């Protein structure tokens, strides 16, 4: 814990430590001295802040990794100003064993007591702790019992006795602590106990990693019984006024049996409503070892890493555990080795998220998700090879994730009722036939990346509402006429890392909202005239790291708003196709045969010359250029010592350590990562 980050900037910090001594100790000046043969001392530094009256306000004491002798003597040696104002005491790894009952009685402002990782066996000293205390941290000690000594601590919020040696814990000792948020008794030796009263004052109890076989009626809305020997849990003696038991969080991972019941004082069984139920890594058999009758889950049911193998309504139906509508609950069945789902199993489910990733389906049969309303359906990485045409019949979903499978055809898409986001990345798709997505009228995002696609049929996305398409990392060799045509809502298309060699005429046509095209790291050598036509909204185009030599005239037709163009990583000789563009940023790589009659771009503000000799760009008229970046392009000492008339407004020249002589009229502004020059104004 960093005191400086959570406390006021006023602290008393002990930072140099000493070995165990039976001698009496005292504080002298800024040193805590134990008078033995070999003086050992704790030196503490003040970080002081005086009030208007000149009083010292000290808020924390910390001693770490010390063999602290006579803890009582040390505390009694502190000045009155310290004991009155200290809010936090942290004594960790100090070999503390015995603490007198009145050791902390004078610390009237104490809020946090941290005695973690010591050797304490008895906690009777807590009886005299001032009522200001909010947190007790005593994990990794040798405490065996927790007596009834907390009644005066009316502000207590957190109690941590984890990883001690506690064998029994009766929660009625906390019945007067009405603000208690957490009791952590995990990693102990607790075997069993019964709390006769049903209390509601403790928000969370952690009893995980104990030897529990029975522990009923714990007064809490948040319970953790993970990794225990329990077979279930029961609430009883509940007031007759309660018709339902409400539990916020119930953790039960790593166990073999679970049966949850709630009884009122008349022994009537009550329904239980749980916000978050975590039964992950369940070791028992379903359904024989899992009894969840009268249970309703409102937010999350986690069963991941359990051994379910097959989902069949005849053996176990999870649907009754969820509300019919309105909760958007998450149901996590990931990594359960499920290989079979019976038809209609998820019929009419109403969920926020259904996670079936990392299973072993191989195939999905007919009508598995018929008429289901699932906002996000995850089937990623589940070895799926085939999907029945009716598997998603009338499924209503926002997001369908089928990534990291072995799917090679998409006939099943024709039966889906509604979808907005479709992820088919990392599959085995080879072709996208025309009309594949025709019925997905509301789809906005489509990910086909990392497949084996070499053909996209004409009008595959025709009149679709799709806004973002990922087809990167496939086997496409060309972008043919009509591939991306009449997709009115398309905003971004990603085609990088395909072996594309040619962009045909009208490949991108009548796309009024298209703002970004990514064609970098392909093998483009030919771009036909009118390849980019009527793209009024296009702002950014990446064609970096290709095989372009010539950009002929008229490849851009009616593209008035293109601002950023990346042509770096090519070997350009002719860029006539850039005439008439209103670029603001240009990344460019040219060879020694580069020819441009007049490099005139009045709107250009930023230009990156990459792997090129800047001398090859002549007759420039870039009157609005603000920054010139010369990257991996060594500039010899004989370069001009002043800027050309063509760069009359340039404010910064960034040459990334390529230059040897500072141009006249500029000064160095950034180094050593790069070398930048800024114009010096008179």
pLDDT for 49 equals 35
Residues 6+ apart with CB under 8 A from 23: 34, 35, 36, 69, 70
Q: Are 238 and 270 in contact (CB under 8 A)?
A: yes
pLDDT for 77 equals 74
β-pairing verdict for 373-378 and 396-401: parallel
Instruction: Say how far residue 471 (Cα) sits from the centre of its chain.
Output: 25
Euclidean distance between CA atoms 215 and 223, whole angstroms: 11
Query: Token match 């460019």: residue?
Result: 588
Q: Tokens in use for 279?
A: 């039964």
pLDDT for 657 equals 53
pLDDT for 537 equals 96
Q: Are 212 and 225 in contact (CB under 8 A)?
A: yes
Euclidean distance between CA atoms 401 and 577, whole angstroms: 41
Strand-pair partners of 228: none
- Report the chain (682 residues): mean pLDDT per 10 consecutive residues: 33 36 45 42 36 52 72 77 86 87 91 95 93 97 94 95 93 89 95 66 90 74 89 82 89 92 89 95 90 93 94 90 87 96 94 97 94 96 96 94 97 89 97 88 95 89 85 94 85 97 89 95 94 93 95 90 94 86 89 67 84 67 77 55 52 60 54 47 40
What is the CB neighbour count within 10 angstroms for residue 681?
6
Sheet holding 31-34, edge to edge: 11-14, 40-47, 31-34, 25-28
Q: Are 470 and 494 in contact (CB under 8 A)?
A: yes
β-pairing verdict for 31-34 and 25-28: antiparallel
Give kind and range of the element (H or E) at residue 6.
helix 3-6
pLDDT for 527 equals 94
Euclidean distance between CA atoms 485 and 487, whole angstroms: 6
- Phi and psi angles of residue 648, each rounded to the nearest 5 degrees, phi first: -60, -25
pLDDT for 383 equals 96
Nearest to residue 542, comparing CAs of 502, 569, 560?
569
pLDDT for 596 equals 63
Nearest to residue 182, comparing CAs of 161, 203, 152?
203
Euclidean distance between CA atoms 570 and 550, whole angstroms: 10
Q: Tokens in use for 530?
A: 């009118």
pLDDT for 381 equals 98
Euclidean distance between CA atoms 286 and 407, whole angstroms: 30
Euclidean distance between CA atoms 518 and 531, whole angstroms: 14
What 3-state class would DSSP assign to 230?
coil
DSSP string, 407-455: ----GGGGGB-B-SEEE--SS---EE-TTTTTT-TT--EEE--SS---E
Within 303-417, strands assigned E span 310-311, 330-332, 340-341, 350-355, 363-364, 373-378, 386-387, 396-401
Nearest to residue 464, comparing CAs of 435, 493, 492, 432?
435
**Long-range contacts from 97-104, C-beta under 8 angstroms, 24+ separation:** 97/121, 98/71, 98/122, 99/71, 99/72, 99/125, 100/72, 100/125, 101/125, 101/127, 101/128, 102/128, 103/71, 103/72, 103/75, 103/128, 104/75, 104/128, 104/129, 104/130
Euclidean distance between CA atoms 109 and 448, whole angstroms: 62
Q: Up-side HSE of residue 202: CA atoms within 13 Å toward CB?
A: 24
Euclidean distance between CA atoms 675 and 682, whole angstroms: 22
Residues 6+ apart with CB under 8 A from 623: 602, 646, 648, 649
Query: Token match 């607790």: residue?
Result: 190
Is the backbone of residue 59 left (phi > 0), alpha (psi -120 to 50) or beta?
alpha
pLDDT for 324 equals 83
What 3-state class would DSSP assign to 173?
helix
């Amino acid at each position: 814990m960093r005191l400086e980050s959570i406390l006021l900037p006023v602290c008393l910090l002990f930072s140099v430590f000493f070995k165990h001594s039976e001698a009496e100790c005292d504080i002298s000046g800024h040193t805590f001295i134990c008078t033995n043969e070999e003086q050992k001392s704790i030196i503490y530094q003040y970080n002081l802040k005086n009030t208007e009256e000149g009083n010292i306000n000290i808020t924390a004491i910390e001693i770490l990794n010390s063999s602290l002798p006579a803890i009582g003597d040390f505390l009694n040696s502190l000045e009155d100003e310290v004991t009155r104002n200290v809010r936090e005491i942290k004594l960790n790894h100090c070999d503390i064993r015995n603490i007198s009952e009145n050791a902390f009685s004078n610390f009237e402002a104490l809020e946090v007591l941290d005695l973690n990782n010591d050797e304490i066996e008895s906690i009777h000293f807590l009886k005299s702790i001032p009522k200001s205390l909010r947190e007790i941290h005593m994990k990794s000690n040798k405490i065996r019992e927790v007596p009834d000594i907390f009644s005066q601590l009316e502000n207590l919020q957190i109690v941590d006795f984890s990883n001690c040696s506690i064998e029994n814990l009766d929660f009625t000792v906390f019945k007067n602590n009405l603000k208690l948020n957490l009791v952590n008794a995990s990693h102990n030796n607790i075997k069993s106990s019964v709390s006769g009263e049903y209390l509601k004052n403790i928000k969370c109890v952690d009893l995980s990693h104990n030897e529990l076989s029975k522990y009923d009626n714990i007064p809490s809305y948040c319970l953790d019984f993970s990794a225990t020997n329990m077979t279930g849990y029961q609430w009883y003696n509940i007031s007759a006024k309660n018709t339902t038991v409400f539990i916020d969080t119930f953790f039960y991972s790593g166990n073999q049996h679970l049966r949850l019941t709630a009884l009122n004082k008349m022994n009537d069984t009550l329904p239980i409503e749980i916000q978050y139920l975590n039964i992950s890594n369940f070791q028992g058999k379903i359904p024989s070892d899992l009894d969840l009758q009268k249970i309703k889950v409102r937010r999350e049911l986690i069963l991941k890493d359990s051994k379910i193998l097959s989902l069949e309504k005849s053996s176990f139906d999870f649907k009754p555990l969820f509300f019919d509508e309105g909760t958007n609950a998450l149901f996590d069945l990931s990594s359960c080795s499920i290989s079979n789902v019976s038809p209609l199993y998820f019929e009419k489910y109403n969920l926020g998220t259904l996670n079936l990733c990392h299973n072993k389906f191989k195939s999905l049969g007919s009508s598995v998700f018929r008429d289901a309303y699932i906002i996000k359906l995850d089937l990623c990485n589940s070895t799926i090879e085939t999907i029945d045409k009716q598997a998603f019949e009338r499924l209503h979903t926002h997001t369908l994730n089928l990534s990291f499978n072995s799917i090679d055809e998409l006939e099943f898409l024709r039966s889906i009722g509604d979808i907005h986001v479709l992820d088919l990345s990392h599959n085995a798709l080879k072709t996208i036939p025309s009309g594949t997505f025709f019925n997905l009228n509301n789809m906005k995002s489509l990910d086909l990346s990392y497949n084996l696609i070499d053909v996209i049929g004409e009008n595959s996305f025709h009149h679709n509402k799709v806004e973002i398409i990922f087809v990167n990392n496939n086997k496409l060799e060309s972008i043919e006429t009509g591939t991306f045509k009449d997709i009115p809502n398309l905003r971004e298309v990603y085609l990088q890392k395909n072996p594309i060699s040619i962009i045909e005429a009208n490949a991108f046509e009548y796309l009024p909202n298209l703002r970004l095209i990514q064609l970098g790291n392909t093998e483009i050598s030919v771009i036909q005239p009118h390849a980019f036509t009527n793209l009024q909204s296009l702002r950014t185009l990446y064609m970096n790291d290709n095989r372009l030599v010539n950009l002929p005239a008229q490849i851009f037709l009616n593209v008035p708003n293109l601002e950023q163009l990346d042509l770096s990583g090519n070997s350009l000789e002719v860029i006539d196709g850039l005439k008439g563009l209103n670029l603001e940023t240009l990344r460019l790589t040219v060879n020694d045969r580069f020819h441009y009659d007049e490099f005139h771009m009045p709107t250009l503000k930023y230009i990156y010359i990459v792997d090129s000799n800047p001398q090859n760009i002549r007759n420039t008229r870039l009157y609005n250029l603000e920054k010139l970046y010369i990257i991996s392009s060594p500039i010899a000492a004989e370069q001009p010592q002043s800027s050309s008339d063509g760069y009359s407004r340039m404010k910064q020249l960034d040459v990334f350590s390529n230059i040897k002589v500072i141009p006249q009229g500029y000064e160095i502004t950034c180094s050593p990562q790069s070398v930048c020059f800024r114009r010096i104004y008179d």
